[in-house]
Each structure stands twice: as C-alpha cells, then as structure tokens.
Structure 1
C-alpha cells in the first residue's frame, strides 16, 4: 500500500489528476474572490482564478480529438450491434444520445480553442466572446444529453433489479415445489413398503406357514413346494431391493433442498449492482451542478459567482475520486 504522499504524487502527475487539482484551486479562488471584503485582495483572487482557468485550457487543447474518437467508437459499436437480434429501440436511443454528447463536447473544446489567443491577451478580437458563448451552449446541450442518458440507465437498472428479484422468487418457489415433491415421494415409498410387508405377513399366516416352519415343510414335500419357494424367494429379493431404494432417499436430503441462490453469488451481484447504481447517481449530480456554469455564461440563469464556485468545488471532489482510484490502482 503506497503512502499518502505517493498517492498524491501519482494523482497530480497524471493529466486528469492535474486538471482536477487546478480546477479545485480555481473553485477555491473564485469563492475567496467573492467572500473577501477588501477589494485589493478580491482582485488578486480574481486574477488567480483567471490564470488557473487559462492553465486548464492548455491541458485540454487537444481534448476535442478524444471526444470525436469516442463518438466514432460509440457509433461504430452501435452499427455493429444493429445487426444482432438483441438490438432494439432502447439501444438505438442510447447510442444516439452518446454520439450526440461526445460530438457536442468535441465541438465545445474545438470552438474554445479559437478564443485562446484572446484569453492570453495576444490577439484581441471582437468575435471571441460570441464564439465562446456558442461553445458554452454546446457544452450545455452535451450535459443535458448526459443527464437524459444517466436517467435512462438508472431506469434500466431499476427494471433489471425487478426482473432479478422476480427470477429469484421464481427459483425459490421451484425449490419449494421440488422439496414438497420429494417429501411426498419419500412418504409414499415408506407407506408402500409397509403395506407390502403387511400383505406378505398376512399371506403367510393364512397358508399356515411361518418363517421358521417353511424350511421343515420344504424338506418333507420338496417336490411339491419347490415352485412356491422359488416364487417366495424372488418376492423377498424384490422387497429387499425396494427397501434399499427407499433407504437411498435420505431424510436430510429431502429437508435440506436449497431454497435460495448461494449467498456468495447473491452478495457479489448485489455489490456490483450497488456500485453501478452509485456511479450513475454520482454522474447525475455532477452533470446537474455543472449545468450552472455554461448556463450562467450564456445568460440563461442568474446564478452568482459564489454559487458557481461552490458547485464547481463539489463536482471536482466527486469526480476526483474516480481519477484518484484509477491512478493509484495496484498493478
């Protein structure tokens, strides 16, 4: 297990981790710029925020290539899956939303790059603000598609859980039916064996024979009773075989039929489902909070700088956990 310093080093030395770190500092600087009363210090915090935002833009200079590549990969995967029988309208809708989301994000990063010289103060233009506003509109649309996709996945996950519970109840009912069936067969076999024994005993009493005088009678009249002895011997052999078959039915086996799915399998499936459910909820919260940023730039909402700073801080912490776990994953 690496130390905390080593994990922090792995996080900040990775490109996603460095971007999240700068975003965290930017959110803190924005909050301080609003809360500080002194105008001089507020201006300094505002400058820090602007420089950190510009630094983050350097890191995502070619981010649009990755977004377009993901859009193409999703489209290609959907095209290949469309020829299978399992591909339905729900899969088509999910593919369309994913392609639209990554395409719009790619266009956002690409348009943002056209205004980077203006942000650096190298080449001031009159159209950079308009291009930046249109870029933030695309970011807003991409976040909306991501929200719809997340809600769709959440609904599909809930439906899948309901189906799994129904299947478990069905398996439990089938196990109970099998248990009752084996119990009935066991009781029926015992009753049938007792009935045959009683029938043979009554037959011996009615003919005046017993287990002890059958040998003496066969010695005196061997020729007369040879056929009867052979028949009696065959019946006894059959009765012994039936008793052995009944003895093979263990009472403990009858009463110990499993009624549920094994605990390990159920636990692992529940843990995986809970992790997927938590991941979807986290992304929904992050996308909902991030909507304030492009909406405020475009002018569609009156969210203040303090609100945007707090939401940026929250989403940065939530999304950094996955990056932290990924870069510090043991090899």
Structure 2
C-alpha cells in the first residue's frame, strides 16, 4: 500500500480532517446557493439526472437545510476541543512565565535584550488559544439546543442566541490574535535569518565545502517552509475573520462572499492536517 494512500486514509479518519471535509462541503453548498452561475449549473445537472426541471425555490430550501445540517455535524467533531485549546494556552503560558523569570534572574539589572513587541509577541499566541477555547466552550454549551428536539433545551431561545453571538465574538478575537501572531512571527523570522557566510581566503577541502553547501541548502529549505506555513496560517486567519465578523455585525459581506472565504480557508487549513497525517504515517512506517 502506498504511503500517499495511507496518508489519505489517516486524513479521512482523523477527527480534524473529517471536520475540514464537512466544512469544505458546507462552503460549496453555500457558494452554490448564493451565486447565480453555480446555482444554474446545479439545476442543469439535476435536470439531466432526474429528467425534470427542479424548482429553484425548492432547491434553495434544500441547500439551506443541507448547509445547516453540515454545520451541525461539524460541531460534534469539535465538541470537546475547547479542552485542547485551554490546555495548549496553559502550557504555553507556563513556559513563557518560566522563561521570563529565568531572564529576569540572569540579567541582574542589565538592559532588556528585546523590544516590547518581541516580548509581547508570544503572549499573543496565548490569547489566541484562550479566545479559541472560550469560543469552543460556549459553542459546546449550546449543542443540545442546536439539535432542535422539541422539549429538549438547556437555554431559552434568547439566551442561546446571546451565547452563540458571544461565541462568535471570541472566535473573531482568536482569529485576529492568530493573524497578528503569525505576521509578527514572519517578521522576526525574516530579521533573524542569518546572512550567507563569506568563504574564507584559505583553501578548504572539497568535502568540507560540499558539507557546508548542503547545510546551507537545508537551512534555506527549513526557513522557506517555516515562512510559507506562517504565511498560510496568517492568510487563513485573516480570511476567516469574515465569518464571525458578519455574524456579530462588524464586517459587511454577502453570504456568497462568506462561502468563498470559507472555501479558501478550508483548503489552507486542510493542508496543515494533511501534512500532519503524512508525518504520522511516515513515523509509523
């Protein structure tokens, strides 16, 4: 069995991968229902397969219901993910606090080696993870109400709407912090990139030169990969802001635009999960 196929199996059976797949389907459904050309093409496909012209109004109702079902299905995959977010935030906070204490003990009155932005920068990631945990926790608290089973509810309708709105606000804060963190991380990575070392005047062996060139290529590859992944994460966070932003009323965007943003960010975030599954398959093999 090829490693690529094993990676595909790992991705489609991973909870995060499955949630991303459902999110991709949801974004496609939202695009189909809000843009004229894709919607007309969908009607043509239905006409060819069913040999009768479907009603546009009925089709839109079906797409809306499908969108809601896919959104609900995704929530079960991230029901307890707030625990992971809070745990990651707590670990990172403890690590940063310990590092700051050690730095204060070692410098003994010396000048602070880093600027304010550099010192605050890692804490932005802590805020991003904490806000994400709050979003997921509030969302999880309304899962019973989201089932819409008659007579089964934890909150009143008004309270459930308020909690859902506040959850979206926390998600928005998390995305902003994540985008700022990634952009700053890219800036620090670029500024910390070591300039190419000049070759000495003395003669060196070909073996040593080849080893140095190989090490330079590996460092350049690692540097490029890191910047690429950070840029990908920043782009996904910035585009994702449209989703909660429209819900809380801070961003004006049409449903079709939201669907396009969701489609692009889903592809970008799916790549992270796909690469992780590839590493897991390679490690297990």
TM-score range, shorter chain: 0.7 to 0.9
- RMSD (Å) for aligned C-alpha atoms: 2.5
- 2:283 pairs with 1:324: no
Show the counterpart of 2:62. Answer: 44
Structure 2: distance between partners of 1:127 and 1:291: 24
CA–CA distance in structure 1, aligned partners of residues 3 and 57 of structure 2: 41
3-state SS of the aligned residue for 2:157? coil
- Kindly indicate whether the alpha-carbon contact (under 8 Å) linking 1:112 and 1:132 is maintained by their aligned counterparts in 2: yes
Residue by residue, what CA displacement relative to the aligned partner does 1:55-88 show, whole Å, maximum 9, x if unpaired? 1111111111111100100011112212145985
Q: Residue 126 in 1 paired to residue 153 in 2?
A: no
Q: 1:32 deviation in Å?
A: 1.4
Tell me by how many angstroms 1:260 deviates.
9.9
Shift in Å, 1:92: 3.5
Assess, with a 3 A threshold, how the Cα gap between structure 1 residues 52 and 19 changes in structure 2: closer, same or farther: same
Please say if residues 157 and 277 of structure 1, whose CA atoms lie closer than 8 Å, have aligned partners that are also in contact: yes
Task: Give the aligned partner of residue 110 of structure 1.
Answer: 137
Aligned pairs, how many?
249
Alpha-carbon separation, structure 2, partners of 1:32 and 1:73: 42
Matches within 5 A, 1:241-252: none
Cα distance, 1:111–1:261 mapped onto 2, change above 3 Å: same
Query: Are 1:154 and 2:154 counterparts?
Result: no
- State the match for 1:238 in structure 2: none
Larger radius of gyration: 1
Separation (CA, whole Å) in 2 of partners of 1:63 and 1:265? 39
Q: Does structure 2 conserve the Cα–Cα contact (< 8 Å) formed by 1:20 and 1:320?
A: yes
* Alpha-carbon distance, 1:255 to partner: 11
Q: Quick check: 1:53 aligned with 2:88? A: no
Q: Which residue of 2 aligns with 1:68?
A: 86
Q: Which moved more, 1:272-281 or 1:315-324?
A: 315-324
How far apart are the structure 1 equivalents of 2:117 and 2:93? 15
- 1:18 corresponds to 2:18: yes
Aligned ranges 1:92-107 → 2 under 5 Å: 92-107=119-134
**Structure 2 Cα separation of the partners of residues 5 and 151 of structure 1:** 34
Alignment correspondent of 1:272:
222
* Alpha-carbon distance in 2 for matches of 1:42, 1:254: 72
Q: Which runs of 5+ in 1 are unaligned?
A: 180-252
Task: Tell whether 2:258 aligns with 1:308.
Answer: yes
- Where do 1:165-244 residues align within 5 Å? 165=195, 168-169=197-198, 172=199, 175-176=200-201, 179=202
What TM-score does the superposition give when structure 2 sets the normalisation length? 0.80
Distance in structure 1 (CA, Å) of the matches to 2:133 and 2:76: 15
Query: Of the candidates 134, 137, 144, which is equivalent to residue 176 of structure 2?
Result: 144
Distance 1:10 1:260, change over 3 A: closer
**What are the residue-to-residue correspondences of 1:280-291 with 2, within 5 Å?**
280-291=230-241
Match of 1:262 in 2: 212
Cα distance in 1 for residues equivalent to 2:236 and 2:255: 18
Alignment gaps of 5+ in structure 2: 41-55, 108-112
1 CA distance for matches of 2:83 and 2:64? 31
Tell me how far apart the structure 1 counterparts of residues 59 and 213 of structure 2 sit (CA, whole Å): 60
